[in-house]
Chain A
Amino acid sequence: MTGGYMGRILFVNLSTGEIREEVLEENICRDFIGGYGIGARIIYDRQAAGVDPLGPDNTLGLITGPLTGTPATTGTRYQAVGKSPLTGGWGDANSGGFFGPYLKFAGYDAVFFNGIAEKPVYLFVDNGKAELRDASHIWGKDTYETEDTLKAELGRGVEIACIGPASEKLSLISGIITRRGAAAARSGLGAVMGSKKLKAVAVRGNQKVPVADKERADRLRSEQIAEMRTPVAGGQSFIERFHKYGTSSGAHRSALSGDTPVKNWGGIGVVDFPEPDSLGGDNAIANLAGRAGCWRCPIACEGRLKEGTGEYRYPAGTRRVEYETQASFGTMCLNNNIESVNMANHICNSYGLDTISAGCTIAFAIECYENGLITRADTDGIEMTWGNHQAIVAMTEKLAKREGFGDVLADGVKVAAGKIGRGAEQYAVHIGGQELGMHDPKLISPRRPSQPSAARYQADATPGRHTQGFGPSGFRGHFLNAAGLCMMGQMAADPTKYLVGFMSAVTGWECTMDELLKAGERIANMRHVFNLREGINPIEWQVHPRITGNPPQEEGPLAGVTADIKAQVYWNLGALDWDMITAKPSRRKLLELGLDDIARELWP
């Protein structure tokens, strides 16, 4: 087997208890790299169309990349994949931490689950051996307790990926959690894990990830870290900036510049939320106890808080909020109380919720309340008004527990709007069922017209995602994600030097950037054809008019701006060689990418 891969994958049938090991073939690695690339290929091949995402036939995969657990800087990540119960189409989610590297140290590149266990179980992968164990004693526990309990039982050197009570109760906006809040949160894959009665995956091992040219990989790592430590604009280096604040330095600032959405996407920062400073910058790290990082990451952008001592008593060790959470529970709700955002973050992490979707759903509920669609009688007496931080925290807890009105909200805005009725759909901002990432796509750089901002929210296989790309500008990101690297960390990288360099040094393939981009394109097509087979055409996904600016805002930095989403979508469909009506990739394109079997299916 080539470097970077352990060469083995696990298939676990939770209905029968059978655990089967397969060899990971080099051709699939070369074509699909890892992560959601390999995941999309394997699930497409082995799963029928139309399965119930929460039923036994849906396959859930946890997959690393070839650079995960290697000297490649920021090679820390794994991806969860499966059919999404939130969108009904392809689902994936990405997370850093330690779980990805440790899965490889335990001997495997990936583990796939199907079936449903008779009673709650967890999978323990211990240095090349895997077994299912009873999880009745941790079923119902939050993610912190689950991790603590399993680590105490299994001993040192174990890493845990688990679900919380929200996933057990099949919340469609729940995710998979490691290390108290490193979340593979999007696409509702926590609910898939919950539906299988799979509480956790524990991994441990001391196997080395093979590296074809370790000296070269180590040299590249040293050079990249030195670049990251070089001061740039403002005199701060990339590492200094991210180490100090993580991603939390900016939401308050970018709410005023039009990037961060405000008031459930319906507001204007400078008008509706003119004093956001308490949300970000030094305020976000005021209660910081210390900093930490993912496995061997030189940036270490994660922050841990001291115990909350004021109105909000979150426990010591709660994660400092990230940008997306500051925005979803802060600017989106007109809430500038950072301690309440910390508390909401803690609730989401411990119950296992996606903070983007949960915060957006709370903002949606507030707007419904403010407009009289729901009253205190509906909300269990909670006054859901803009900026009411006590209400935001109280309702988040109800959502996490599916308690009272929280049960209405627990599956995100699309389902909640359907339950509420009375025109609530007008306030439900989502695409294909998924709430959007916290960047306003109306902002688009004229210097980068080929990078569609609004269209990527609509047309990626997992709609509403801000970390994915659509069209040729997304190919690099697909490679980077599939390889197991951190998108934030690699913002400081020279892509040709480091992405090509690390892939070549670790795998032993002498790669070119063209090859890696082609792999990214193949991955984009594979995820997309999964959706086509499910009957999903992304062109038909409706985009909320607030997203495109229709009508445009009348004041502020985005005054007058309407995103030309049709132009973005159709330009990129052309560049991808996908049909302008059916979105089917052309036969020629599929053959060019070596997807001959898909070409035969789509063009019989």
Chain B
Amino acid sequence: MTSRGSCGLKPDSHRLNTSWYEGSRRGQEWKYCPMFRCVVGVFGLPREVTELREVEIELEDGARLRDIIAALRREIPALEGDIICAGEDRLTDNYAFNINGRFYQDENELQVRPGDRVALLLLASGG
């Protein structure tokens, strides 16, 4: 039953899916760049739109919430418009992330850590 999407975080790099090291863009030096996997649970309308129950994203150490949104927007275009603002790394009004039991909509600089429980959901509906 479980659908599982996967998307690398770096927009221009397919290497990042598996590598724990990356080349510095500016020079030839290699630096240590730890990565971690973050599973984003997808609930309600976002699940209907994406047909995914969860999305696995590879994140750099120190990644922010905006990095998750950017990765989702890039890899799952269906989210753009109704759920993620078109052309922006920002959720639209009625959507939020539940991260470890707290809701976040605008705190894009929030640092995400390994082991964080992250869910994307619609905040309200019904009548």
CA distance A557 to B120 in the complex (A): 8
Main secondary structure of the interface of B (DSSP, over half): loop
Q: Are A250 and B43 in contact (CB under 8 A)?
A: no
How many residues of B are in contact with the other chain, CB < 8 A?
A: 29
CA distance A446 to B97 in the complex (A): 10
Known: A256-B47, A257-B45, A447-B93. A552 touches B101 (CB 8 A): yes
Q: Are B127 and A560 in contact (CB under 8 A)?
A: no
CA distance A443 to B45 in the complex (A): 15
Residue among B47, B104, B121, B127 making CB contact with A446, cutoff 8 Å: B104
Does A316 sit at the interface, judged by CB under 8 A? no
CA distance A556 to B105 in the complex (A): 18
Q: Are B126 and A323 in contact (CB under 8 A)?
A: yes
Q: Are A246 and B98 in contact (CB under 8 A)?
A: no
Does A234 sit at the interface, judged by CB under 8 A? yes
Q: Are B124 and A443 in contact (CB under 8 A)?
A: yes
Residues of B within 8 A of A283 (CB): none
CB distance from A100 to the nearest CB of B (A): 20
Q: Are B98 and A561 in contact (CB under 8 A)?
A: yes
Residues of A within 8 A of B101 (CB): 552, 559-562
Known: A270-B43, A444-B103, A556-B43. A253 touches B125 (CB 8 A): yes
Q: Are A253 and B45 in contact (CB under 8 A)?
A: yes
Residues of A within 8 A of B127 (CB): 246-248, 250, 322-324, 488
Known: A559-B101, A560-B98, A562-B101. A258 touches B126 (CB 8 A): no
Interface centre among B96, B105, B124 (most CB of A within 10 A): B124
Interface centre among B47, B100, B103, B127 (most CB of A within 10 A): B127
Known: A257-B43, A257-B44, A557-B121. A327 touches B96 (CB 8 A): no
Residues of A within 8 A of B48 (CB): 253
CB distance from A145 to the nearest CB of B (A): 29
User: A545-568: contact bitstring with B at CB < 8 Å (1 yes, 0 no)?
Assistant: 000000010001111111000000
Residue among B82, B105, B117, B125 making CB contact with A254, cutoff 8 Å: B125
Residue among B43, B104, B124 making CB contact with A439, cutoff 8 Å: B124
Q: Are A446 and B44 in contact (CB under 8 A)?
A: no
* Minimum CB distance partner of B120 in chain A: A557
CA distance A444 to B100 in the complex (A): 15
* Minimum CB distance partner of B94 in chain A: A445
Residues of B within 8 A of A447 (CB): 93, 105-106
Residues of B within 8 A of A233 (CB): 81-82
Residues of B within 8 A of A248 (CB): 127
* Minimum CB distance partner of B97 in chain A: A446
User: A314-325: contact bitstring with B at CB < 8 Å (1 yes, 0 no)?
Assistant: 000000001110
Does A438 sit at the interface, judged by CB under 8 A? yes
Q: Are B125 and A257 in contact (CB under 8 A)?
A: yes
CA distance A259 to B122 in the complex (A): 9
Does A251 sit at the interface, judged by CB under 8 A? yes
Q: Are B126 and A446 in contact (CB under 8 A)?
A: no
Known: A257-B45, A561-B98. A439 touches B126 (CB 8 A): yes
CB distance from B115 to the nearest CB of A (A): 12
Does B119 sit at the interface, judged by CB under 8 A? yes
User: B81-108: contact bitstring with A at CB < 8 Å (1 yes, 0 no)?
Assistant: 1100000000001101010111111110
* Minimum CB distance partner of B99 in chain A: A560
Main secondary structure of the interface of A (DSSP, over half): loop
Q: Are A445 and B43 in contact (CB under 8 A)?
A: no
Does A70 sit at the interface, judged by CB under 8 A? no
Does A260 sit at the interface, judged by CB under 8 A? yes
User: A434-453: contact bitstring with B at CB < 8 Å (1 yes, 0 no)?
Assistant: 00001100011111000000
Residues of B within 8 A of A260 (CB): 126
CB distance from A437 to the nearest CB of B (A): 10
Residues of B within 8 A of A254 (CB): 44, 122, 124-126
CA distance A327 to B127 in the complex (A): 10
Known: A323-B126, A443-B123, A443-B124. A258 touches B103 (CB 8 A): no
CB distance from B97 to the nearest CB of A (A): 10
Within 8 A of B (CB), among A379-404: none
Does B8 sit at the interface, judged by CB under 8 A? no
Residues of A within 8 A of B122 (CB): 254, 257, 259
The list of the 3 closest CB pairs from A to B, nearest first, reads A257-B44, A247-B127, A560-B101
Binding site for B on A (CB under 8 A): 233-234, 246-248, 250-251, 253-254, 256-260, 270, 322-324, 327, 438-439, 443-447, 488, 552, 556-562
- Chain A to chain B contacts (Cβ below 8 Å), 27 pairs: A233-B81, A247-B126, A253-B48, A253-B125, A254-B126, A256-B47, A258-B43, A258-B44, A259-B44, A259-B125, A323-B126, A324-B127, A438-B126, A443-B123, A443-B124, A445-B96, A445-B103, A445-B105, A445-B124, A446-B106, A446-B107, A556-B41, A556-B119, A557-B43, A557-B98, A559-B41, A561-B98
Binding site for A on B (CB under 8 A): 41, 43-45, 47-48, 81-82, 93-94, 96, 98, 100-107, 117, 119, 121-127
Add 6 more A-B contacts to A446-B107, A556-B41, A560-B101 (CB < 8 A): A258-B44, A444-B103, A445-B105, A560-B100, A561-B98, A562-B101
